[in-house]
Structure formats: structure tokens, C-alpha cells
């Protein structure tokens, strides 16, 4: 058993400080195991989120030695033990208590996304799609919503004022998922450009580096989205194509209000 | 008097896993005011951890499949204890529920002709599980979550419900709880309530379940006077991780076996051939050659014994380890590395590959996994009407793991995700019908709210007392060792004594800190539900003096035909004690009985 000091941030929106918890670590333990032991033995009110403890739910995100990690997937034996292991809440979101932050920004941005609007099914009432066509979207649907990509993104990490008009990497992969979805019919490109702040991202790939699902956020979502948005706005060939195919690009308002699904349309406020 | 905010909706759903989301979607689509109240953030409920897939007889891979075969597999897998009407509706409606998810954006893996791919699983005659690699639960919950967002359903996240409230005529009319971030008390009033709180596995030491699975819904319904059935029927999943200790109990999907993995003991022997029960002998291969041919030809070969229902496999692993043929950490070996290519394994089982690599340092494409049984699922739960999901108290509906009946004494893998969809929708319909027809008052009793809040907040006011984590650990140790996979009367009686002593100790729990995001206090408010639920499991286990499905009695090792026609119903009596009463199963119609015969399909 190795001895280690866990230096954990304690406090709330009013302020706080790091508190040291000396502890011993057993073989195979992850950071969350140690945090749980501290809760059970030393600090029952130490606040942290967790659910699955298997890297599947994305609840236990925190900044370990300065970088976002899932506490349940970070083995203690991968961390240096000579120095205290520093655990802090995600910086981009307002603190509720200790390691728990208010991540409602992400849920709000999800609400502002114009929902999936499928084309009509085939004659038998079902859809046919090829595996190769669903795989692009499946990559993005691996997202466990740990929000660490949002946390590390400097557009909002150091600029609270950008949150109002910046969807962030988590939502960009969602937009790309719908953009590449074989069944979706809406065109959200102008919305992305004008209201979701796609242009703010200067592709430093920080989000990709922290993604626990290894989703290539920048290469497979943000860069292709930027290309498509530019195509939609400026490319003369795309412009000609739109004229010929009579495909008109939707304004942000049109995209936001576009509904193919009558059940959704019926309940829209 | 407690200060609280009162919130009113037509239909209030407690729980935001698959069943809760599907119920709320149904109510909202009907035009009712629907809200969801859940203990975690939206999208984090236990459904997210489901791996293998959702069972639905779409016949995309084997055109021979249909609802009648699925019905038969479900009833036989449940050791004849299941509710026939629920099993029928489930088998008939699952395909539509899966297709509906596609119309809401889900992206399932495909067959070569572009339809939804289906994988093999234990106890299912044909490949039947719609899936996305081995992260199907994530796909399901995300699809439903995004649908709920598109419908603009109100969600009260990180809110724990403490008690259901009735109006003066005994209809469920409210629920009192608190927001975890602030500790603020909320009182929800509504015309109909849907319980969709999932399972109870947190009370066992080695479990696939998260902190949320404290049986809140089972206990809330019990306290409100509802009937529960089959609470003795717990499922121990055969394959949980056993090493390192910190991940002991973590789920290893049955998909590993469905996709070709086999179980071996320390001598390298595929021991499941030694444990084929008579009832499944006609459909199970008795030699390795036939078992291996089955993957490509289901028609002319019988299923490998590794794909027997979960209760059989879990007991067999237990027996092998007891006989001294286990691995160094008390498990057996699950081997897919020698059976399938590394590419295949990484494509079909990416999350298992990841999980073993990161947490155990094991490369499953090169070496076997060591696995053993882990507490996974409760078949029993709130007694419901199959068609409407109505409980036995007016105004309360239930769906998903918290409801009992569909799975009988043992659930087949894959039948849980389809259960959520089919009965989540039906609970939404049942609750909506009830809400639309309800004219009575939804006024709740202020004094009752005050007393619930006083009891829940008492641990915050005590200077000294019991540590809630100590109580939880003692309960988990007790349930693990005395009410585990193999049970015996003397141990069950002993467990009941411990639970009763814990009920006394819980009255003296003290926690430091305040009401804002305080896990110690949150646990203190979960403990009463955990203790009530463990009482029911143990009492049911004492009453069922036979072995059937997930319930195995060392002192009554055989099944008893007479008990196979009985549900043990539990409820509280006037004195507030849990009582157990045997009641006959609903009689299955003859045309459905005929489907159960071997050779009927």
C-alpha cells in the first residue's frame, strides 16, 4: 500500500480552500475509490458526483493535477505519489459545493439545438441505413456528456461572457452528428455560424485530448462543420448547386423552428 | 413548519431512466403537463450502463423469429413465474418501440441489407438484441433524453423523493422531496404519478448498481400501501469483474458470450456442459463442436450452454469456484481472445475492451477475463396491471425495474431495455388516462409534509450519532453474505435480525455539514428505503421454500411445482409491518400455454 496525500478543494460559491487528506492506496484503486473512502471515514459531507464507476455515465469529471479527468477511470498508480494529488472542480462551471459544479449551461445549449427531424420511413414503416452511413454519427453518440471538453475549451473557460453565444465542443459534435445523420432533414449551418459561435473555435484540439471516449472532436466534427458552414455561405459552386437543386439554406430562425415531426410541432410552445 | 415550494403537473414521473423518460414522453405527446423528477443529472440514470442490447423479435437476422418465440423464451427463462399478459405485450410491442427510437434519432448497428442488426444473448432462441456495439443503454437513454428535450418536458434534476402523499380519499396526489444541490424542500402535486426508479442493488457489497439504486420506488410504494410481488427474486449476473477489488462487481456484458466467448475453469475446461438442466436440455448443445457450429447455423444446432439463462450460469460459476476450480481471485475465466479476432472484439465489444484495459490492465483480445457473479437486478417489484401499469393504489403507476411481474423468477438479458420502452409507454398511457379522467382534489396534508421533512432533516441536527456510511457498509456486508446467490433459512433469519437492528440504529444517524450537496446526508435519507427493501427481499426469500430462477435455497434445492403457481405478495399491515401473503398467479390462456411446448415453433 502506497501512502499519498489527496489535496481536495472544499468550498462553495462563496469561496473555499484546498484540504489535505493523507490516505493509503490499494492495488488497482482509482481516484474515485479514494474519494469515497475519504467520504466514509473523514469527510461524509465531501461533495462529488458519480454514478456508474465504469466510465460510462460521465458524472465524476474533475480536474486532477490540473487537467480534466474522470475520477472513476484514473488509476492512482498512474499519478505521482511523492507530491499531493490535487483534485479540483471543473473550472468552467459555477461551483455548487466541493467537486460539484453547476453544469446547466450544457443542458441549456442542448435545449437550444433544433431537434432531429427525420424524413419519412420506407414503405414498411421502417428505415434502411447502411452500417458505413451510421458510423460517423455513432462516433459522436459515444459521448457520455462528462462535459470535460467544455471545461477545457478556452473560449468559455476564461471568458464567461462567451457562454451566451457559444455551444462548445460537446454540442458541436451533436450538430455534426445531425449534419451527417442519414435521416435528418434540417439545415442548421447558418444557426451554427451566427448563433452558436462555431467561428470562435480556433482548433487547438484541447477538447479532443481530454475526451474519455476518444472522439476526434476537432478533426471529425469541428473542422468538417467549419468547412460546411463556409461552403454554405461563400462557396460559389455550392451556391450554384443550391440554385440548381433548389436547395435553400435555412436562416437560423428557420432552422430553429423547422419541424418535420408533427408530434413535436404540436407541442411546440 | 417546513418551508417548501409547491409544483403542480398533470403527470409526474419519478425516475429518468428509460422507463421514466418513455412514460413522460407519452404523457407529453398526449398534450398533458408532464414532469420528470430524478436523483441524478439527466442522462446519468442506470439505463446508461446497459451494454448488450434490447430484445425485440424483429426477425432481422433470423426470419424465423417472432413474438411467440420471444414470449416462450421469456416465460421459460423466468421459470414460469412471470405474468403472462406482461410477457405477451412485451414480446408483441418491443419491435415497434425499437423502430420508434430510430424515428427519434437512434443509430443502431446494421445488417448487410440496412436493417437493425440483432445479436445473440442467453436464453433467446434467435439473435434478437438490437444494439450499438456494447453501449446500447447509452444510445437508448440519449435518444429518449433528446426526445424529452425536443418535447420541452420539465425535468427536476438531482431531486430525491422522500414520501408519496395522498389526498383525503386515498389517491396518490403528491410527493415530497428535496433538491440535492440546495437542500430545498419541494412538494410536487399531480393527478397521476409514475414510479420509474429502477433497482435496489446498492444494498449488496458486490453489485453492478450505482449509488442511486437504493430501491426508493419500491419503498415509496410500500409505504403508500401498494402491493409488491416476487421480492425474493434477485438476479445475480454471472459475469462481473472480480479484480482489482476496487472494481469487483462491475458488469461484464453477456454480449461477450453472445459473440462467441466461453467460460473455462482453472483446468481450462468449458464447464458449462456439466450444468445443463433438464428443462433446457432439448435446446442446449451437449458438445463443443455443435455449440461452435450454432453461431453460424441456429436451425440445425443447439445453443451453447454458456448462453443458458443467467440464473443457471451464475449458479454454475459459483459451484465451480466452490469446488476449487476457480481463478486466483475467486472467479472463473471468460475467454473470447482465443475464439474471435482482435478486430472483431474491438468492434463488437469496445467498452469491454476499454474497461478491462484501463481498470484491470487486461487485454481481452489476448488473454481471458476473470469473472464471477454480481448483484444485478430485481425481478420483483410493484404489482401492476399489465395493460395500464397501474399499481394497486389509485393514482400510482410503475414501469421498468421497479415494477414486478414480467421477468418472473429470472430475467433474460436484453429484456430489460425492451421492458423499459414497452411498459414505460404503457405507464405513460395509463397515467395520462387516469389524469384526464380525474376530478378529485390533489390537496395534500401539510402536517404530513412537516413530519416527513422533520424526520429527513433530523440527522443534520444531531450533534453525535451513527455514521451513515457505517450503516450502509453493515447492510451491504449482511445482504452479501446472508441474502446472496445461495440462501438458507437460518442465515435469512439472521439477516432479518441485523436489518431490524439497523432500523434502530438509523434513527440515530448524525451527519456534519448542511443540506447543500451533502452526500452523507443524502445517504442518511436513502437508508430507510434500503432497509425496507432489504426486509422485503429477506422475508420473501424465507417464504419461498424452493429454488427457482434467481432465488436459490440451499435447504430447498429443488423447484416445488405448487410454489411455481404462487406469487408472494408483500404489503404493510395496519401496524406498519411488512407482511407476506401467497397468491395464485394469473391463469395463462390455453393458446399461450401451447406456445411453451417444445417444438411449438
Q: Which of B117, B257, B407, B487 is catalytic?
A: B257
Domain hosting B257: range is 238-375
Report in angstroms the alpha-carbon separations of B73 from A88, B7, B52, B292, B480. 50, 44, 17, 21, 30
Q: Which residues of B touch A142 (CB under 8 A)?
A: 135, 138
In whole angstroms, give the CA distance from residue A237 to residue B425. 48
- Greatest CA separation found in chain B? 72
In whole angstroms, give the CA distance from residue B153 to residue B149. 6
Joined together, the cell numbers standing for residue B532 give: 425496507
Answer whether residue B181 is part of any domain. Answer: no
Model pLDDT, residue A263:
54
In whole angstroms, give the CA distance from residue B262 to residue B250. 19
Does A124 lie at the interface with B, CB-CB under 8 angstroms? no
Cβ within 8 Å, pair B210-A118: no
In whole angstroms, give the CA distance from residue B179 to residue B390. 27
Q: Which of B150, B346, B361 to mutate to test binding with chain A, by most A CBs within 10 Å of its CB?
A: B150
Cβ within 8 Å, pair B211-A51: yes
E strands along B183-232, which residues?
A: 185-195, 228-229
Confidence of residue B185 (pLDDT cuts 50, 70, 90): very high
Q: Which residues of A touch B142 (CB under 8 A)?
A: 141, 143
Nearest CA in chain B to A51: B210
Reduced to 3 states (helix: H, G, I; strand: E, B; else coil), residue A85 is strand
Answer whether residue B544 is part of any domain. Answer: yes
Q: Which residues of A touch B517 (CB under 8 A)?
A: 47, 96-98, 100
Among residues B375, B390, B415, the one where a domain terminates is B375
CA atoms within 13 A on the CB side of A109: 26
Q: Which residues of B touch A128 (CB under 8 A)?
A: 113-115
Residues B244 and B366 reside in one and the same domain = yes
Residue that the C-alpha cell 456495439 belongs to: B133
Is the distance from CB of B187 to CB of B156 less than 8 angstroms? no
Does B512 lie at the interface with A, CB-CB under 8 angstroms? yes
Does A19 lie at the interface with B, CB-CB under 8 angstroms? no
Would the pLDDT of B105 be above 50?
yes
Would the pLDDT of A6 be above 70?
yes
Residues B460 and B345 reside in one and the same domain = no
Report in angstroms the alpha-carbon separations of B235 from B220, B230, B314, B365, B485. 22, 12, 9, 28, 8
Poorest-pLDDT segment among A250-264, B134-148, B509-523: A250-264
Among residues B375, B404, B433, the one where a domain terminates is B375
Cβ within 8 Å, pair A100-B181: yes
For B262-273, what is the mean pLDDT?
Answer: 98
Would strands B34-37 and B54-55 be described as parallel, antiparallel, or unpaired?
Answer: unpaired
Cis ω on the peptide bond leading into residue B244 (within 30° of 0)? yes
In whole angstroms, give the CA distance from residue B197 to residue B37. 10
Residues B359 and B248 reside in one and the same domain = yes
User: What average pLDDT does chain A have?
Assistant: 92
Give the tens place of pLDDT for each residue, B522-570: 999 999 999 999 999 999 999 999 999 999 999 999 999 999 999 999 9
The string over A49-63, giving b where at least 16 C-beta atoms fall within 10 Å of a residue's C-beta and e elsewhere, is bbbbbbbbbbbbbbb
Would the pLDDT of B9 be above 50?
yes
Model pLDDT, residue A266:
39
Confidence of residue A243 (pLDDT cuts 50, 70, 90): low
For B379-384, what is the mean pLDDT?
Answer: 98
Nearest CA in chain A to B149: A111
User: What average pLDDT does chain B have?
Assistant: 96
Joined together, the cell numbers standing for residue B530 give: 434500503
Q: Which of B180, B237, B248, B298 is catalytic?
A: B237
ipTM above 0.85, yes or no: yes
Which DSSP helix (H) or strand (E) runs through B164? strand B159-166
| Nearest CB partner across the interface for A44, out of B31, B109, B468 | B468
Centre a 10 Å sphere on the Cβ of residue B559 and count the other Cβ atoms it contains.
16
Residues B245 and B353 reside in one and the same domain = yes
Model pLDDT, residue A269:
34
Residues B364 and B477 reside in one and the same domain = no
Residues B268 and B362 reside in one and the same domain = yes
Known catalytic residue at B237: yes
Residue that the C-alpha cell 411455481 belongs to: B564
Confidence of residue B2 (pLDDT cuts 50, 70, 90): confident
Residues B354 and B480 reside in one and the same domain = no
Q: What is the side-by-side strand order in the sheet with B118-119?
A: B54-55, B129-130, B118-119
Cβ within 8 Å, pair B149-A115: yes
Alpha helices by DSSP H, listed for B167-233, are 216-223
Reduced to 3 states (helix: H, G, I; strand: E, B; else coil), residue B477 is helix
Nearest CA in chain A to B39: A51
Does B330 lie at the interface with A, CB-CB under 8 angstroms? no
Cis ω on the peptide bond leading into residue B150 (within 30° of 0)? no
Would the pLDDT of B478 be above 60?
yes
- Total tally of structural domains belonging to chain B: 2
Known catalytic residue at B117: no
A vs B: CB pairs below 8 A: 184
Answer whether residue B2 is part of any domain. Answer: no
Q: Please count the residues of chain A.
A: 269
Centre a 10 Å sphere on the Cβ of residue A188 and count the other Cβ atoms it contains.
23
In whole angstroms, give the CA distance from residue B130 to residue A4. 45
Reduced to 3 states (helix: H, G, I; strand: E, B; else coil), residue A142 is coil
Would the pLDDT of A44 be above 70?
yes
Model pLDDT, residue A235:
67
Q: Which residues of A touch B243 (CB under 8 A)?
A: 28
Interface of B with A in 80-99 (CB under 8 A): 99
Sign of the dihedral through C-alpha B384, B390, B395, B401: positive
E strands along chain A, which residues?
A: 2-12, 15-25, 61-64, 67-70, 85-88, 95-97, 100-101
Cβ within 8 Å, pair A59-B41: yes
Backbone dihedral angles phi then psi of residue B29, each to the nearest 5 degrees: -65, -25
Would the pLDDT of A240 be above 80?
no
Is the distance from CB of B15 to CB of B198 less than 8 angstroms? yes
Is the distance from CB of A50 to CB of B211 less than 8 angstroms? yes
Q: Which residues of A touch B514 (CB under 8 A)?
A: 45
Cβ within 8 Å, pair A121-B467: no
Cβ within 8 Å, pair B467-A131: no
Does B105 lie at the interface with A, CB-CB under 8 angstroms? yes
Residue that the C-alpha cell 423479435 belongs to: B57
Cβ within 8 Å, pair A39-B519: yes
Cβ within 8 Å, pair B152-A145: no
Residues B249 and B357 reside in one and the same domain = yes
Among residues B547, B562, B577, the one where a domain terminates is B562
Give the tens place of pLDDT for each residue, A131-144: 999 999 999 999 99
* DSSP per-residue string spanning A176-239: HHHHT-TTB----HHHHHHHS-GGG-----HHHHH-TT---IIIIIIHHHHHHHHHHHH-HHHH
For B108-135, what is the mean pLDDT?
Answer: 96
Work out the minimum CA distance from A111 to partner chain B, whole angstroms: 6
Would the pLDDT of A268 be above 50?
no
In whole angstroms, give the CA distance from residue A136 to residue B17. 26
Answer whether residue B54 is part of any domain. Answer: no
Rounded percentage of chain A residues whose pLDDT exceeds 70: 90
For B414-422, what is the mean pLDDT?
Answer: 98
- Ordered domains of chain A (ranges, CATH): 2-101 (3.10.20.30), 104-267 (1.10.1060.10)
Answer whether residue B467 is part of any domain. Answer: yes
Does A262 lie at the interface with B, CB-CB under 8 angstroms? no
Reduced to 3 states (helix: H, G, I; strand: E, B; else coil), residue A119 is coil
Answer whether residue B368 is part of any domain. Answer: yes
Domain holding B502: CATH number?
A: 1.20.58.100
In whole angstroms, give the CA distance from residue B449 to residue B455. 10
Cβ within 8 Å, pair B99-A115: no
Sign of the dihedral through C-alpha A34, A37, A41, A46: positive
Give the tens place of pLDDT for each residue, A59-90: 999 999 999 999 999 999 999 989 999 999 99
Answer whether residue B74 is part of any domain. Answer: no
Cβ within 8 Å, pair B138-A268: no
Would the pLDDT of A17 be above 80?
yes
Nearest CA in chain A to B26: A263
Answer whether residue B343 is part of any domain. Answer: yes
Residues B346 and B454 reside in one and the same domain = no
Domain holding B296: CATH number?
A: 3.90.700.10
The string over A117-132, giving b where at least 16 C-beta atoms fall within 10 Å of a residue's C-beta and e elsewhere, is bbeeeeeeebbebeee
Residues B477 and B360 reside in one and the same domain = no
Confidence of residue A267 (pLDDT cuts 50, 70, 90): very low
Work out the minimum CA distance from A115 to partner chain B, whole angstroms: 6
| Nearest CB partner across the interface for A142, out of B41, B135, B210 | B135
Model pLDDT, residue A246:
57
Joined together, the cell numbers standing for residue B245 give: 477489488
Would the pLDDT of B281 be above 80?
yes
Does B110 lie at the interface with A, CB-CB under 8 angstroms? yes
Give the tens place of pLDDT for each residue, B510-523: 999 999 999 999 99
Amino acid at each position: 500500500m502506497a501512502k499519498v496525500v489527496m489535496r481536495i478543494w472544499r468550498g462553495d460559491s462563496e469561496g473555499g480552500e484546498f484540504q489535505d487528506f493523507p490516505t493509503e492506496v490499494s492495488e488497482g484503486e482509482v481516484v474515485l475509490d479514494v474519494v469515497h473512502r475519504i467520504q466514509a471515514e473523514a469527510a461524509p459531507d465531501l461533495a462529488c458526483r458519480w454514478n456508474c464507476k465504469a466510465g460510462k455515465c460521465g458524472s465524476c469529471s474533475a480536474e486532477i493535477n490540473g487537467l480534466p479527468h474522470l475520477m472513476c477511470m484514473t488509476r492512482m498508480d498512474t499519478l505521482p505519489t511523492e507530491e499531493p494529488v490535487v483534485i479540483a472542480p471543473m473550472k468552467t462551471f459555477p461551483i455548487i459545493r466541493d467537486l460539484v459544479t453547476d453544469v446547466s449551461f450544457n443542458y441549456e445549449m442542448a435545449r437550444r439545438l433544433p431537434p432531429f427531424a427525420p424524413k419519412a420511413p420506407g414503405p414498411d414503416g421502417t428505415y434502411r441505413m447502411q452500417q458505413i452511413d451510421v458510423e460517423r454519427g455513432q462516433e459522436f453518440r459515444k459521448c457520455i456528456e462528462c462535459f470535460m471538453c467544455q471545461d477545457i475549451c478556452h473560449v468559455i473557460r476564461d471568458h464567461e461572457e462567451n457562454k451566451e453565444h457559444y455551444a462548445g465542443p460537446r454540442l458541436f459534435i451533436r450538430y455534426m452528428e445531425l449534419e451527417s445523420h442519414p435521416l435528418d432533414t434540417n439545415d442548421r449551418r447558418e444557426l451554427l455560424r451566427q448563433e452558436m459561435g462555431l467561428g470562435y473555435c480556433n482548433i487547438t484540439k484541447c477538447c479532443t485530448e481530454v475526451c474519455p471516449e476518444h472522439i476526434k472532436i476537432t478533426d471529425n466534427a469541428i473542422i468538417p462543420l467549419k468547412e460546411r458552414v463556409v461552403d454554405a455561405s461563400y462557396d460559389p459552386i455550392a451556391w450554384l448547386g443550391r440554385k440548381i437543386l433548389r436547395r435553400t439554406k435555412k436562416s437560423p430562425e428557420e432552422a430553429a423552428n423547422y419541424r418535420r415531426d408533427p408530434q413535436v410541432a404540436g407541442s411546440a410552445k | 413548519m417546513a418551508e417548501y415550494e409547491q409544483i403542480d403537473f398533470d403527470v409526474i414521473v419519478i425516475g429518468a431512466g428509460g422507463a421514466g423518460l418513455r412514460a413522460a414522453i407519452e404523457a407529453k405527446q398526449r398534450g398533458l403537463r408532464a414532469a420528470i423528477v430524478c436523483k441524478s443529472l439527466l442522462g446519468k440514470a442506470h439505463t446508461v450502463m446497459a451494454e448488450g442490447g434490447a430484445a425485440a423479435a424483429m426477425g432481422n437476422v433470423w426470419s424465423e423469429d417472432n413474438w411467440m418465440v420471444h414470449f416462450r423464451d421469456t416465460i421459460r427463462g423466468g421459470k414460469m413465474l412471470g405474468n403472462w399478459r406482461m410477457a405477451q405485450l412485451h414480446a408483441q410491442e418491443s419491435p415497434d418501440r425499437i423502430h420508434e427510437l430510430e424515428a427519434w434519432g437512434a443509430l443502431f448497428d446494421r445488417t448487410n441489407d440496412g436493417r437493425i442488426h440483432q445479436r445473440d444473448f442467453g436464453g433467446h432462441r434467435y439473435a434478437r438484441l438490437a444494439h450499438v456495439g456494447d453501449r446500447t443503454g447509452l444510445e437508448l437513454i440519449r435518444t429518449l433524453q433528446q426526445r424529452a428535450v425536443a418535447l420541452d418536458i420539465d425535468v427536476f434534476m438531482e431531486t430525491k423523493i422522500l414520501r408519496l402523499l395522498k389526498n383525503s380519499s386515498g389517491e396518490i396526489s403528491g410527493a415530497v422531496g428535496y433538491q440535492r444541490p440546495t437542500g430545498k424542500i419541494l412538494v410536487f402535486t399531480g393527478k397521476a404519478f409514475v414510479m420509474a426508479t429502477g433497482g435496489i442493488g446498492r444494498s449488496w457489497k458486490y453489485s453492478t448498481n450505482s449509488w442511486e439504486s437504493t430501491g426508493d420506488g419500491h419503498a415509496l410504494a410500500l409505504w403508500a400501501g401498494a402491493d409488491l410481488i416476487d421480492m425474493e427474486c434477485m438476479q445475480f449476473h454471472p459475469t462481473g469483474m472480480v479484480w482489482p477489488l476496487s472494481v469487483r462487481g462491475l458488469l461484464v456484458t453477456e454480449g461477450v458470450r453472445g459473440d462467441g466467448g466461453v467460460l473455462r475453469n482453472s483446468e481450462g475446461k468449458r464447464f458449462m456442459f456439466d450444468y445443463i438442466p433438464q428443462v433446457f436440455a432439448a435446446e442446449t448443445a451437449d458438445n463443443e463442436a455443435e455449440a461452435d457450429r450454432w453461431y453460424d447455423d441456429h436451425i440445425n444446432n443447439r445453443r451453447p450452454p454458456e448462453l443458458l439463462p443467467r440464473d443457471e450460469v451464475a449458479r454454475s460459476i459459483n459451484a465451480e469456484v466452490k469446488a476449487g476450480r476457480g481463478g486466483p481471485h475467486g472467479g472463473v475465466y471468460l475467454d473470447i481472445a482465443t475464439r474471435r479476432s482482435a478486430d472483431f472484439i474491438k468492434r463488437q465489444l469496445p467498452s469491454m475492451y476499454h474497461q478491462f484495459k484501463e481498470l484491470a490492465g487486461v487485454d481481452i483480445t489476448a488473454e481471458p477475463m476473470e469473472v464471477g457473479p454480481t448483484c444485478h437486478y430485481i425481478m420483483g417489484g410493484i404489482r401492476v396491471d399489465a395493460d395500464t401499469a397501474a399499481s394497486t393504489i389509485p393514482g400510482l403507476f410503475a414501469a421498468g425495474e421497479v415494477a414486478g411481474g414480467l421477468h418472473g423468477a429470472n430475467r433474460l438479458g436484453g429484456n430489460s431495455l425492451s421492458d423499459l420502452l414497452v411498459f414505460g409507454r404503457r405507464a405513460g398511457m395509463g397515467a395520462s388516462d387516469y389524469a384526464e379522467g380525474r376530478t378529485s382534489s390533489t390537496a395534500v396534508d401539510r402536517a404530513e409534509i412537516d413530519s416527513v421533512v422533520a424526520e429527513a432533516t433530523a440527522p443534520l441536527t444531531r450533534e453525535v450519532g451513527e455514521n451513515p456510511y457505517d450503516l450502509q457498509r453493515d447492510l451491504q456486508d449482511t445482504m452479501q453474505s446472508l441474502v446472496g446467490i445461495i440462501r438458507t433459512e437460518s442465515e435469512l433469519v439472521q439477516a432479518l435480525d441485523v436489518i431490524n437492528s439497523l432500523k434502530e440504529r438509523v434513527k440515530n444517524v448524525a451527519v456534519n455539514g448542511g443540506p447543500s450537496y451533502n452526500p452523507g446526508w443524502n445517504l442518511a435519507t436513502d437508508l430507510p428505503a434500503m432497509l425496507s427493501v432489504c426486509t422485503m427481499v429477506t422475508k420473501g426469500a424465507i417464504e419461498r421454500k424452493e429454488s427457482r430462477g434467481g432465488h436459490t435455497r440451499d435447504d430447498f434445492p429443488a423447484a416445488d411445482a405448487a410454489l411455481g403457481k404462487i406469487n408472494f405478495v408483500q404489503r404493510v399491515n395496519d401496524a406498519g409491518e411488512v407482511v407476506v401473503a401467497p397468491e395464485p398467479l394469473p391463469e395463462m390462456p390455453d393458446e399461450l400455454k401451447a406456445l411453451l411446448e417444445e417444438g411449438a415453433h
